[in-house]
Chains A and B, each alone.
Chain A
Amino acid sequence: MKFRIYRYNPDKDTAPYMQDYELDIRPDDSTQGKMLLDALLLIKQQDDSLSLRKSCREGVCGSDAMNINGRNGLACITPLSSLKEPVELRPLPGLPVIRDLIVDMTQFFKQYHSVKPYLINNDPPPETERLQSPDQRAHLNGLYECILCGCCTTACPSFWWNPDKFVGPAGLLQAYRFIADTRDQATSERLDDLEDPYRLFRCHTIMNCVDVCPKELNPTEAIGKIKDMMVKRIV
């Protein structure tokens, strides 16, 4: 299988370049069930200067998010058999490259932290848990599963143009996760915080986020629900 991988080492290279690699595997028989990350680790045996992040290798940690043949995804859950050759791998778009496939996620996490992604409840904690009915809990499905890999946010042109001001789909999905939580008491403060032409309303519903999410979540729907709640409280 043929691979073309984005290489950039700021200590040595003046500009990024694409490097070709070839592995003696075919995407059909011997690689049955093998994932792109397996191939990347084989390539790293050939050339240990290639840098990438990885950890759980099963789509839970979100470390190995990258741009695979022009589409953001997780290398560890992308089957080799699904890829067209040469497989072109680039770092996530729109973030500064640290080296090769590793990007600086600072801006991404800054936006994530700006939505206060934790439960705000000023009542004294009860003896046991703060309870929810199964119905109330069901509202969190499709929201809490986000692994913060950054695939959606870095696929969003609004984030590319205004990464310092637009929260981005991942951050907004998490904002809605706490707005939708019946145990949270800061709903109106959260809505106030997002009622801004940049923070929320840079989203123009192009749905790149929904298209690329490796966990099949729907940030656009969550953003729509935040807008609904804002409309409900003014009319």
Chain B
Amino acid sequence: MVNRVVVGAHYGLRDWLIQRITAVLMALYCVALAGYLLMQPYLDYDVWTALFSSLAVRTFSLLFLLSLFYHAWVGIRDIVMDYVKPASVRLVIHVLVILALLLYSIWSVQILWGF
């Protein structure tokens, strides 16, 4: 049994709250996108390009993807907290996950704005 307990990081609430807010954002986006796609009689390249040429759709898609990445960060860290005990291994996993999610964010902008 561990005698000295290292707790008191004071960020639990922030991430818990952000995880819930991003979940609501993602749910709204999914429902809206699914609703739009179901209303289209034909779904072809032209419909897709027309949809994603709108600035609003691109913006909300980016917001959705950023929400997804932050949500994933909190979730993955939660899993790591439960199952990976050595602090060094945990830190390496944290850094790798953050780097991957940052790369995905940049990639998302690239995809949506087609640089």
Chain A residues with Cβ under 8 A from B115's Cβ?
none
Query: Given contacts A106-B1, A162-B81, A204-B78, are A227 and B7 in contact (CB under 8 A)?
Result: no
Which of B1, B2, B13, B78: most chain A CB closer than 10 A?
B13
Chain B residues with Cβ under 8 A from A201's Cβ?
12-13, 15-16
A196, B81: Cβ atoms closer than 8 Å: no
A162, B13: Cβ atoms closer than 8 Å: no
B11, A197: Cβ atoms closer than 8 Å: yes
Chain A residues with Cβ under 8 A from B82's Cβ?
157-158, 161-162, 202
B2, A231: Cβ atoms closer than 8 Å: no
Cα-based distance from A116 to B75 in the complex (angstroms): 30
Annotate B4-16 by CB proximity to A: 1 below 8 A, 0 otherwise. 0111111111011
Report the tally of A-B residue pairs with Cβ distances under 8 A: 51
B93 nearest CB across to chain A (Å): 15
Contact of B12 among A107, A114, A157, A196 (CB under 8 A): A196
A196, B1: Cβ atoms closer than 8 Å: no
Query: Given contacts A161-B83, A202-B81, A227-B16, are A107 and B8 in contact (CB under 8 A)?
Result: no
B56 nearest CB across to chain A (Å): 28
Query: Does B17 have its Cβ within 8 Å of any Cβ on chain A?
Result: yes
Chain B residues with Cβ under 8 A from A204's Cβ?
78
Annotate A33-54 by CB proximity to B: 1 below 8 A, 0 otherwise. 0000000000000000000000
Cα-based distance from A193 to B9 in the complex (angstroms): 10
B13, A231: Cβ atoms closer than 8 Å: yes
Cα-based distance from A35 to B12 in the complex (angstroms): 43
Query: Does A164 have its Cβ within 8 Å of any Cβ on chain B?
Result: yes
Query: Does A200 have its Cβ within 8 Å of any Cβ on chain B?
Result: yes
| Chain B, residue nearest A191 (CB) | B13
Annotate B26-48 by CB proximity to A: 1 below 8 A, 0 otherwise. 00000000000000000000000
Query: Does A234 have its Cβ within 8 Å of any Cβ on chain B?
Result: yes
Contact of A196 among B2, B9, B17, B78 (CB under 8 A): B9
Annotate A116-144 by CB proximity to B: 1 below 8 A, 0 otherwise. 00000000000000000000000000000
Which of A157, A192, A199: most chain B CB closer than 10 A?
A199
Chain A residues with Cβ under 8 A from B12's Cβ?
195-201
11 contacts across the A-B interface (CB closer than 8 A) = A106-B1, A164-B1, A164-B2, A165-B6, A195-B13, A198-B7, A199-B7, A199-B12, A202-B82, A227-B16, A230-B13
Q: Mark A residues whose CB is within 8 Å of B.
A: 106-107, 114, 157-158, 161-162, 164-165, 192-193, 195-202, 204, 227, 230-231, 234
